[in-house]
Amino acid sequence: MLKRSLPRLLIVLVLVLSLFAGCAQTGSGGKKIDKNKAEIVVGGVRSQTGAQAVFDQTAFGPCYRMWVDEVNAAGGIYVKEYDKKMPIKLIIYDDTSDMGTMTQMYQKLILEDKVDFLLPPTSTAFLAAAAPIAAEYGYLLIGAEGGSKTLRETLDKYPDFFSTLSYSETQVPAQAKLFKELGVKTVYICYIQDSHGIEYNEDATVAFKEVGIEIVAQESLPPDLADMTPTMNNAKASGADAFIVYSYPQHSFPAIEISKAINYNPKVFLGGPGVCYALVKLACGGDAGVEGVMYEGAWNSKSSPELAAFAEKIAAANKDDPNFTMDWWGHAPYYAGLQVLQEAIEKAGTLDHKKLSAYIKANHFTTVLGDTFFTNQELDPSCYKGQIGQWQNGYPEVVDADAFRTADPIYPKPAWAPAG
């Protein structure tokens, strides 16, 4: 009797479970889908004032603002589990370039505003501090300004974090390869005493030795150093073929101007973040004032038709912004990261972060960089269109010793010229 009753009980059980399942549609991860949800809420904490404000003004800032405008102009992002296009509602808080404020505001975005997605903060240090917050609450986070070996070490702990920016492990070997091709024998290095400068200097120690280039000095620079003159005098006295400053505009821009003043003209002059901005021409004497100066980067409008269109588009979108300047290192990978997120949502059909993270790890995407994909949660090095740039007649040429080169490097660097 019991055996004959079991099939009937199973049928009833299946019907009951089906009834409950039909009462409320659920999305990935078991979260109930609210069919009345009308928008995708995207939130970020950015340094809009303070020492790091330049990043939101000129680096990732123009990228995410343009992306939101484009998405909304197209009616939104189609999300299959909601069966509709959903526009983006953007919430941005200013952290005043203070890390404590940044972490507090991210918690506010998550706990009070209940945003669907997070945008990354400014700088490597801030990004490293935001990653554990995003992970704690189960949020996917695609980085922008920031990339380092230290950040890479956190990736195992934060499986839903992705890094888009190239850094020392890709750029320094490219520098050494290029210098070797040019015939550089000796190099003078100065570097800022932070994670960026320290990591670049460490990698340079290995990379230049491997190609037989002698490092004659490695001088550390305090972040608040008021005068670069002693450093530049030391570099000039060394007689090194190449001079490198692994630092930000507070060091690299004065280094250029002081070099002119003391008639120091090495065969190679390479600067760190900031020298990739078109702003350097305004700060250092126009096109002629930076002729032949190299920088970490790189891409330009000759790198591909997609990047030509992107360069034109982002310049047009920001033509009325007095703070805007082209970033020939970061703009392309930053925008590509946003395109990856959008395509993942459209293809995976969900806003669920775990499913999106898995989709991003497993797939290739079409972005302004062309074929785009991540390896171990970092943008694969093959996706970048260059690592070293050089200002030539006011244009940001890619001069890597490989197929991405858009112009032959100028070597030796011509004599410093007055503003054009």
Residue 362: C-alpha distances to residues 262, 296, 356 (Å)? 54, 29, 10
Q: What residues does 188 pair with on adjacent strands?
A: 217, 243
Q: From CA 121, how far away is CA 60, in angstroms rounded?
A: 9
Multiple choice CATH, 168-298+386-398, 3.30.365.10, 3.40.50.2300, 2.70.98.30, 3.40.1160.10: 3.40.50.2300
Q: What confidence score (pLDDT) does residue 31 get?
A: 60
pLDDT band for position 155 (cuts 50, 70, 90)? confident
Closest-CA residue to 362 (of 345, 375, 351): 375
pLDDT band for position 22 (cuts 50, 70, 90)? very low
Q: pLDDT tens-digit profile of 295-306?
A: 999 999 999 999
What is the pTM assigned to this prediction?
0.90
The answer regarding whether domain 40-163+305-383 maps to CATH 3.40.50.2300 reads yes
Residue 58: C-alpha distances to residues 54, 212, 279, 322, 325 (Å)? 6, 37, 9, 10, 6
For the chain, domain boundaries: 40-163+305-383, 168-298+386-398
Q: pLDDT tens-digit profile of 77-131?
A: 999 999 999 999 999 999 999 999 999 999 999 999 999 999 999 988 899 899 9
Domains 40-163+305-383 and 168-298+386-398 share a fold: yes
Per-residue pLDDT at 20 exceeds 60: no
CB 127 within 8 A of CB 143: yes
pLDDT band for position 389 (cuts 50, 70, 90)? very high
Q: From CA 202, how far away is CA 214, in angstroms rounded?
A: 14
Q: What confidence score (pLDDT) does residue 62 get?
A: 97
Q: From CA 240, how far away is CA 184, in angstroms rounded?
A: 9
Q: Write the DSSP assignment of 333-377 as a string of letters.
A: HHHHHHHHHHHHHHHHT---HHHHHHHHHH--EEETTEEE-EETT
Q: What confidence score (pLDDT) does residue 10 get?
A: 38
